[in-house]
Amino acid sequence: MRITDVETIILRLPVVEMIADGTQDALIVRVHTDEGVTGLGEVDASPEVIRAIIEAPASHALSSGLRALLVGEDPMNVRRLWDTMYRGSIFFGRRGPVIMAMSGIDIALWDIVGQVTGRPVHEALGGGYRSRLRAYASTLMPHTPRDAAAEATRWVESGFRAIKLGWGGFGTAPDGGVALVRAVRAAVGDQVDILLDIGFNWEPSRAIDYARRLEEYRPFWIEEPFWPDNKEAYARLADTIDIPVAGGEEETTRWAFQELLDDGHVDVVQPDVSRAGGFTEVQRIAEMADLHGRPCVPHAWSTGILKAASLHMNAAIPNALMMEFCVWAGPLGDELTEQRFWIDENGEVEIPRTPGLGVTLREDVVARYRI
Ligand code: MG
**174 Cα–ligand 1 center, Å:** 20
Model confidence at 21, in pLDDT bands (50, 70, 90)? confident
pTM of the model: 0.98
Average pLDDT for residues 271-289, to the nearest whole number? Answer: 98
- Reported as type and span, the H/E element at residue 162 is strand 162-166
Contact 40, 29 (CB under 8 A): yes
Q: What proportion of the chain, given as a percentage, has pLDDT over 70? A: 100
**114 Cα–ligand 1 center, Å:** 29
**pLDDT given at position 292:** 96
In whole angstroms, give the CA distance from residue 155 to residue 187. 11
**300 Cα–ligand 1 center, Å:** 9
Tens digits of residue pLDDT in 167-209: 999 999 999 999 999 999 999 999 999 999 999 999 999 999 9
Q: Where are the beta strands (DSSP E) in the chain?
A: 3-12, 25-33, 38-43, 132-140, 162-166, 193-197, 219-223, 245-247, 268-269, 323-326, 348-350
Tens digits of residue pLDDT in 122-180: 999 999 999 999 999 999 999 999 999 999 999 999 999 999 999 999 999 999 999 99
**pLDDT given at position 330:** 86
Residues with CB under 5 A from ligand 1 (ion): 197, 249
**73 Cα–ligand 1 center, Å:** 36
